Amino acid sequence: MFSPRITLKQVAQQADVHISTAWRALKNDTYVEPAKRARIRAIAKELGYTPDPMLTALSNYRRKHQPQVFQSTLAWINNFPVRREGRELGNILGYHEGAQRFATQMGFKLEEFWLAEPGMTPRRAREVLLARGIRGLVFPPQPLSGTELTFDVEPFAAVTIGYSLTTPRLHVVGNHQHNATLQALRELAQLGHRRIGMVSATETMRRANHSFESPYHFFQAVQSESHRVPLFAVPGRDEPKNIAAARDAFIAWYKLHKPTAIISHVSEIRIWLEALGHKVPGDVSLATLSRVFDPDWSGIDQQEEQIGMRAVELLVSLFQNGERGAPGTPLRMLIEGRWCEGDTTRRLGPPATDLLAKIS
């Protein structure tokens, strides 16, 4: 015998609430006070209520194919000490443009919220966001790796872009940086390069959770010893003072190891090499892992706008499913980059097929 499906309307009647309140409570929406939410959820469990998957699928289909009306506001949390820095950096600008576009498509408004505003504290920020009815937060990359915020995200759906925010521990959307380095190494090996070096600032590597350099160390491990080139690390952040201080050490590294190609996050190495009389790509090929900073170079387009779009897509999904606070098991949504040819690489010889076999 079939048992009739328990409906949301029946749950609402049993709980003596409006059907919309029951729907919000079962989505774990913080608009419904905690005690009432818990009571409604307990009643639904006792009655054996489960959502109808066909109705859910139909609702999702209609939401995607109908013009969107305003639903709510989402907050873009800028934690940079200087507000414009959190707006104007090339990669963050791309993330924001993608996030803004997707939010608008889904009927949400995306507003910037600056945590370093005078008089602002984490507690005050939480109160202001709740008072304005904002329940969804996007944390773009932070000023420094390992950033810990004493920000109570329990009432909010929240995601972060990249790994620089370590507390609270949230779902992450970002570029698949491990694959980006592997792709760059493979492209250079296809061009016949074997002696491939890498240059990056230590802060850049930490911000990426060491995803950039890990494949490079693997690549060197499978190389013949005569072709191995150690990574050149600029201490600290990728900023003018630190970069300038590393110039002489970089030149010594280049002269000692003589790489025919270099994967780099440091734009200045091209200037240094050309000042020494080395032609790019005539004498050495250069590849970047983020073309947003070096658009003329060959290298990886990290697809920043796609990352921003997918971050908001995940956030909206969490918001609509009633998932709030720091998750017990954070997700990692990784967006593949694309190799793009620029004017900084050339063919050195036939593909290094034996090397390609080891890193494929």
Q: Residue 80 CA to chain centroid, in angstroms?
A: 17
Write down the number of H helices and E strands in the chain: 15, 14
pLDDT tens-digit map of 299-319: 999 999 999 999 999 999 898
Peptide bond into 327 cis (omega under 30): no
Q: Establish whether domains 8-65 and 72-169+305-336 are of one fold.
A: no
Q: Which pLDDT score is estimated for 69?
A: 45
Extents of the domains making up the chain: 8-65, 72-169+305-336, 177-301+339-358
**Tokens 């990886």 — which residue?**
300
CATH says 72-169+305-336 is which class? alpha beta
| 10-20: pLDDT as tens digits | 888 888 888 77
Average pLDDT over residues 245-270: 96
| 117-126 tens-digit pLDDT | 998 888 899 9
CATH architecture type of domain 8-65: Orthogonal Bundle (1.10)
Lowest mean pLDDT among 110-114, 198-202, 237-241: 237-241
Which CATH superfamily is 177-301+339-358 part of?
A: Response regulator (3.40.50.2300)
Residue 17's pLDDT is: 85
| 112 pLDDT more than 80 | yes
- In this predicted structure, the answer to whether residue 48 has a pLDDT above a threshold of 90 is no
The yes-or-no verdict on residue 177 having pLDDT over 80 is yes
175 phi-psi bin (left φ>0, alpha ψ -120 to 50, beta other): beta
Largest CA distance in the chain: 85
Spatial strand order of the sheet with 338-340 comes to 232-234, 196-201, 261-264, 285-288, 298-301, 338-340
> In this model, does residue 107 exceed pLDDT 60?
yes
Q: What is the mean pLDDT of the chain?
A: 90
C-alpha 21/C-alpha 32 separation (Å) is 7
